Amino acid sequence: MSNDKLRLALFGSGRIGQVHARSIAENPDIELVMIADPFIDGAQALAAKVGGRAVADPEEVFGEPDLDGVIVASPTPTHVDLMSRAAAHGLAVLCEKPIDLDIDTVLACREQIAAHSVPIMLGFNRRFDPSFASVRRQVADGEIGALEQLIITSRDPAPAPRDYIAASGGIFRDMTIHDLDIARFFVPDIIEVTAVGANVFSDDIRELDDFDSATVTLRGRDGQIVTITNSRHCAFGYDQRLEAFGATGMLSAGNVTATTVRRYDAAGTEQSGPFLPFFLERYAAAYRAELDAFARAIRTGEPCSPGFDDGVAALILADAAAESATTGKTVGVAQA
Amino acid sequence: MSNDKLRLALFGSGRIGQVHARSIAENPDIELVMIADPFIDGAQALAAKVGGRAVADPEEVFGEPDLDGVIVASPTPTHVDLMSRAAAHGLAVLCEKPIDLDIDTVLACREQIAAHSVPIMLGFNRRFDPSFASVRRQVADGEIGALEQLIITSRDPAPAPRDYIAASGGIFRDMTIHDLDIARFFVPDIIEVTAVGANVFSDDIRELDDFDSATVTLRGRDGQIVTITNSRHCAFGYDQRLEAFGATGMLSAGNVTATTVRRYDAAGTEQSGPFLPFFLERYAAAYRAELDAFARAIRTGEPCSPGFDDGVAALILADAAAESATTGKTVGVAQA
Amino acid sequence: MSNDKLRLALFGSGRIGQVHARSIAENPDIELVMIADPFIDGAQALAAKVGGRAVADPEEVFGEPDLDGVIVASPTPTHVDLMSRAAAHGLAVLCEKPIDLDIDTVLACREQIAAHSVPIMLGFNRRFDPSFASVRRQVADGEIGALEQLIITSRDPAPAPRDYIAASGGIFRDMTIHDLDIARFFVPDIIEVTAVGANVFSDDIRELDDFDSATVTLRGRDGQIVTITNSRHCAFGYDQRLEAFGATGMLSAGNVTATTVRRYDAAGTEQSGPFLPFFLERYAAAYRAELDAFARAIRTGEPCSPGFDDGVAALILADAAAESATTGKTVGVAQA
Amino acid sequence: MSNDKLRLALFGSGRIGQVHARSIAENPDIELVMIADPFIDGAQALAAKVGGRAVADPEEVFGEPDLDGVIVASPTPTHVDLMSRAAAHGLAVLCEKPIDLDIDTVLACREQIAAHSVPIMLGFNRRFDPSFASVRRQVADGEIGALEQLIITSRDPAPAPRDYIAASGGIFRDMTIHDLDIARFFVPDIIEVTAVGANVFSDDIRELDDFDSATVTLRGRDGQIVTITNSRHCAFGYDQRLEAFGATGMLSAGNVTATTVRRYDAAGTEQSGPFLPFFLERYAAAYRAELDAFARAIRTGEPCSPGFDDGVAALILADAAAESATTGKTVGVAQA
């Protein structure tokens, strides 16, 4: 095996950090050098499984020689600081969404890191889902003519814990933001946001002044309408679909099951198994492809996609959705 | 065969009149006595095929003895007058949607016919579609728990002629009104309407100050969100689907194909045939079931469903949608 | 309505007779003149529903003036006699399968009726199933290149009563015969039959020396292989499918459900409803199309398809299958 | 990472050897120590990609200390020799199918290795396909009652080269053998084999006195019927399906596509992408699971499944199929 593996460090050994660590372990071209987490037990447990050195202090990462880049999978409030320092050290960054819940903080961060021309990639993993990416490619190739309507369905299997929701920034900034990025993946120039939120099942979420369900309608510069349907729960698993409707046809991307088994009995026919339960399983291939794209960007110097500005744009749309859901008015947006 | 067939007359020998005439011809319990159309050639041609007497003057219908009811399938501007006169003659009425494009005219008509307690049924045929009706029944039976989200997709295969569009009252009153009724079929109490219209493919429609595409979001009294996606064209046929998402599951109803044939070749796999082209084919069974329900209401004296008030409610929602799409504001509605 | 309706009489007011009576009632071009059944109560009950005169004695049918044809839906042992007499009276005949269970009787009947050049159609209704017919047409049009393999699945929902089975002639002559005709619909020249029978669930059928399940493999003159899978029961309804596999692709035809509703819940996803329960429902459209074809043949004088010889050929294959299942040897057949 | 990785050597660097090498590279519990291939260039190229030492002489493998087992993925004629020597050296063996094309050679080999109680696993990878394995598990759990019929469809995308076919032992020993093993996976005791072969598209294969298509019917001890449909080509990809039909229901396992994308346009609807092209892609997960099972058997000492005797049994069935296809007679088999 060649010795010029890419050397990466990982911030955060939580759920999403573990996803990246495992993707690296299965990638023969990347070496996981360090796992940094103030909760050192987590870092050590993960390092024992996938290799790398566990450290509690992020400073050790910035002191490590010959590092190529970092993956920021620590809690959201640490993102801006870690990203800025990594950039200052000339390290490429793959940062989980969101950059920050506050748009001013995000814009300030952008200015700061602009000076250092390092690759910055945002963790909008769904762009790398093989089915979504295939639809995107076919739309770009003109397979369905001009895109007119995009319908995104995105439902989580069950609400996150109350504490998580409380700190999440609300459904639009925490959950819908992924769908807003997928909207921009297909329709980069969004000019209007109309959102409706609802509380139909969770008293917890209602008490937190957040919505448990939402519908967002976006208008693109060329008149395209994007519709996003969200729910914080879903009895039949993780529901992640889209339909791209164009002048000459439609392409849909559906949910994923573990097998192709279908059941036929007195109760009904063609019953498929449950959908893959949540993002770790459903987007496993997407996370691996995302890592590949990050590695390629580092090696080639080509711009990252999605990049920092995609994170900015998605947050602006999330803020607009939150405003629209509160005021009952369509909100115009100008991409910053 | 029994001699106590129900005796009906039909106003209008156009496309939708022909649908009803054919349904009657195949129904052993109903006799088509008269077909009235000022365009007498149309009435005669239809009578030659399915039986009944062709007349030009509607007055002949009202003079006919022993008639049980009428079907109003003439142009929209004639609906209120024919319905009112039929009611005054004690005839049951099955009236095609919309009652009228103007809500004040509709409300005046309501007052007028209230005096005569005849069965009045509105031609919202989709309620009788076997698949939609089955979903509705299962939702009512609690099969998916509390209904939280209803997603309606409704796309016509191709725009109607420019003249038709010009007189149609706009996409919301002409096309969406069917979907608004389906929304009320599941969520009778709608309290808010938010609509976004777009012009993405038809210069004709744009010139008429109408939209060729639209998305409407409704909020029910209990927080349910209904989303309607409309387009005036669809490259792959008549696209008529819905998804009812509830606390414990989801039920979907899809499009209909003429056969179950699937094709597998080098270009792809599991390719199904085209969807049934338009409402005549797709809703053929629905029209027959609607006629059965009308006949049953006449014979039993039970209230018609959908009735006159369902027509009023749908028009109120269509007006609200038109207002919302123009103002960019959510519009509150109180069911009249 | 025109007065030159085709005038038909019906022998048999049982299950299959009722199907034909109802098809006639819905067909504006055909008049059901008489229903003949020694069990006069059945004939009268049916006539009350769909019209026509009920008679006990078949002779009355042959004495009726201006009759165009008869449908023979009486018990199998009466087929040959009724068909022969009808032909002698110059009446067209649509005869339910099988002509008879004994090939010599069938061949004698063929000789007898050959003298009278009346249209004789065999009730192999499945050829008129819209899905099977569409596959057949596309295969003929070369859509999948040369046909190489045909896979037929045919399972009844539940075994017929013991008495019926006892008189049925065995699974191959009673049940498989329909599939053998479909095999010949695609591959007219069958040269070899290999059959395997099994007893896996029914002691009744075993005691009658019959099989409850069977697999038949046919070889066509050009090397095509046809595989038929049969079972006398099926927990999930009436299972009627086929796959036509050719050099450049495959076409499949599947089962039919009453609606397009799909269910998603914690137990599974995309569950469709039950298949239409049995032949009356599944092949309702086929029976109507069969009647249309019979009427067309009478009016135009064009040869019936399937005709008498198709009935002969199917019985020869059924006999060969029975022999093969008993001897464990492939049986060569020469089409009589 | 722990140091007690399982140490394996690989014989053969061809297509199937590469599959195993890649599975090992992605498996953190197994180390690929050596790749042996007289065609040393192939071994070296593969070692450069996935690690391990490339050697030309198999003797070097048997001289390597601390080896746990070998994978035999070299040409069929070398299997018996390599397996026997590996067993004599106390090494566990995962051997690709078939053990040998000659049943006497296979039985002699069995005697020879019986003395050495090493784990011997046969490379019937399909047993590890997640969908097939799920159906098998559910059948064993009684989910569909007693199994009555098993329908296996297995078509290769395109014929192997003429030279390969010439040395393959014929369609039954080379291709059907996988399906015969799947048949035994569900119905271990097969008592009768009936086979029909055909030549419908390949002159090459006809000239080699082999069949390009075949249908095999097996009878299990309890009356179950298994039907296998084979073709050496398939215009729409690698067609690998099965249906398990039982007393109370049916379970099917279908083909696999790279994405869930569906296309709708004027030509048709719901068109899925092509099936995964061939076994490398379709059974990638199966090969990984097979390797896991082999590793587990080495570590735990539990018996391998499928084991040597499964290889013997499949070859006996393949021989019986070849005989039946030639003689036109059902062949009884007693499992050796």
- Here the ipTM equals 0.95
Rounded to the nearest angstrom, the minimum Cα separation between C264 and chain A is 6
Q: Which residues pair with B92 in a beta bridge?
A: B69
A65 Rama class: left (phi>0) / alpha (psi -120 to 50) / beta: beta
* Range D21-47 average pLDDT: 93
Q: Which residues pair with A18 in a beta bridge?
A: none
Helix (H) or strand (E) holding A120: strand A120-122
Mutate to test the interface with A, among B151, B191, B215 (most CBs of A within 10 A): B215
Helix axes A130-140, A284-300, angle to 10 degrees: 60
Q: Say how far apart CA A14 and CA A160 lie, in whole Å.
A: 15
* Range D153-167 average pLDDT: 96
Q: Which CATH architecture has domain B127-286+313-332?
A: 2-Layer Sandwich (3.30)
Instruction: Say if D202 is an interface residue toward chain C (CB within 8 Å).
Output: no
* Range D316-336 average pLDDT: 92
Q: Say how far apart CA D106 and CA D90 lie, in whole Å.
A: 19
Rounded to the nearest angstrom, the minimum Cα separation between D168 and chain A is 31
The pLDDT value recorded for residue D115 is: 87
User: In which band, very low, low, confident or very high, does the pLDDT at A259 lie, cut at 50, 70 and 90?
Assistant: very high
Instruction: Say if C277 is an interface residue toward chain A (CB within 8 Å).
Output: no
Q: Say how far apart CA C101 and CA C107 lie, in whole Å.
A: 11
A228 to A205, B322, D3: CA distances (angstroms): 20, 21, 49
Contact list in C for residue A268 (CB cut-off 8 A) is 263, 271-274
What tens digit of pLDDT does each residue of D135-150 get?
A: 999 999 999 999 999 9
Rounded to the nearest angstrom, the minimum Cα separation between D129 and chain C is 20
Rounded to the nearest angstrom, the minimum Cα separation between A32 and chain D is 12
Instruction: Say if C261 is an interface residue toward chain B (CB within 8 Å).
Output: yes
Instruction: Say if D265 is an interface residue toward chain B (CB within 8 Å).
Output: yes
Instruction: Say if C256 is an interface residue toward chain B (CB within 8 Å).
Output: yes
Contact list in B for residue D274 (CB cut-off 8 A) is 266, 268-269
pLDDT at D1 over 50: no
The pLDDT value recorded for residue B1 is: 35
The pLDDT value recorded for residue D335 is: 59
Q: Say how far apart CA A53 and CA C160 lie, in whole Å.
A: 72
Contact list in B for residue C50 (CB cut-off 8 A) is 1, 28
In this structure, what DSSP letter does residue A237 have? S
* Range D257-264 average pLDDT: 97
Q: Closest residue of A to B218, CA-based?
A: A196
pLDDT < 50 regions, chain C: 1-2, 336
Rounded to the nearest angstrom, the minimum Cα separation between C260 and chain B is 5
The tokens for A290 are 């995302």
Lowest mean pLDDT across A60-69, B243-252, C20-29: C20-29
For the CA atoms of B23, B26, B29, B30, the dihedral, rounded to the nearest 10 degrees, stands at: 50
Lowest mean pLDDT across A178-182, A301-305, B239-243, C242-246: A301-305
Mutate to test the interface with D, among B271, B275, B276, B282 (most CBs of D within 10 A): B271
In words, the CATH class of domain B6-118 is alpha beta
> For residue A161, with 0-12 CB atoms within 10 Å meaning exposed, 13-18 middle and 19 or more buried, which class applies?
exposed
Contact list in C for residue D217 (CB cut-off 8 A) is 194, 196, 215, 217
Using only the alpha carbons of chain B, give its radius of gyration: 20
What tens digit of pLDDT does each residue of C209-241 get?
A: 999 999 999 999 999 999 999 999 999 999 999
In this structure, what DSSP letter does residue A257 have? B
Size of interface A-D (CB pairs under 8 A): 83
Instruction: Say if D45 is an interface residue toward chain A (CB within 8 Å).
Output: no
Q: Where are the domains of chain D?
A: 6-118, 127-286+313-332
How many residues are listed for chain B in this entry? 336
Residues ≥6 apart with Cβ < 8 Å to A114: none
User: In which band, very low, low, confident or very high, does the pLDDT at A122 lie, cut at 50, 70 and 90?
Assistant: very high
Q: Which of D283, D284, D302, D282 is nearest to D293 (CA)?
A: D302
Q: Closest residue of A to D249, CA-based?
A: A265
The tokens for B282 are 């797709």
Q: Say how far apart CA C114 and CA C107 lie, in whole Å.
A: 11
* Range D161-190 average pLDDT: 97
Between C49 and B184, the more confident residue is B184
Q: Which of B151, B246, B249 sits opposite A229 (nearest CB)?
A: B151
Contact list in C for residue A264 (CB cut-off 8 A) is 235-236
The pLDDT value recorded for residue D11 is: 98
> Mean of the per-residue pLDDT values for chain D?
95
What tens digit of pLDDT does each residue of B195-217 get?
A: 999 999 999 999 999 999 999 99
Mutate to test the interface with C, among A262, A269, A272 (most CBs of C within 10 A): A269
Cβ–Cβ gap B251/C263 under 8 Å = yes
Q: Say how far apart CA D200 and CA C149 lie, in whole Å.
A: 9
Mutate to test the interface with B, among D231, D234, D236 (most CBs of B within 10 A): D236
Q: In the block, which residue shows the tokens 């297909």?
A: A186
What tens digit of pLDDT does each residue of B109-152 get?
A: 999 999 898 999 999 999 999 999 999 999 999 999 999 999 99
The tokens for B210 are 């109408």
The pLDDT value recorded for residue A335 is: 59
pLDDT at A25 over 50: yes
What tens digit of pLDDT does each residue of A260-284 get?
A: 999 999 999 999 999 999 998 999 9
Cβ–Cβ gap D130/A253 under 8 Å = no
Cβ–Cβ gap D265/A253 under 8 Å = no
Give the HSE-up count for residue B140: Cα atoms under 13 Å, Cβ half-sphere.
10
Q: Which residues pair with B326 in a beta bridge?
A: none
Contact list in C for residue D229 (CB cut-off 8 A) is 149, 151, 225, 227
The pLDDT value recorded for residue D334 is: 83
In degrees and rounded to multiples of 5, residue D247 shows phi and psi of -65, -30
Q: Which of B144, B253, B273 sits opposite C260 (nearest CB)?
A: B253
CB contacts under 8 A, D 123-152 vs A, are 130-131, 134-135, 138, 143-144
Cβ–Cβ gap A330/B196 under 8 Å = yes
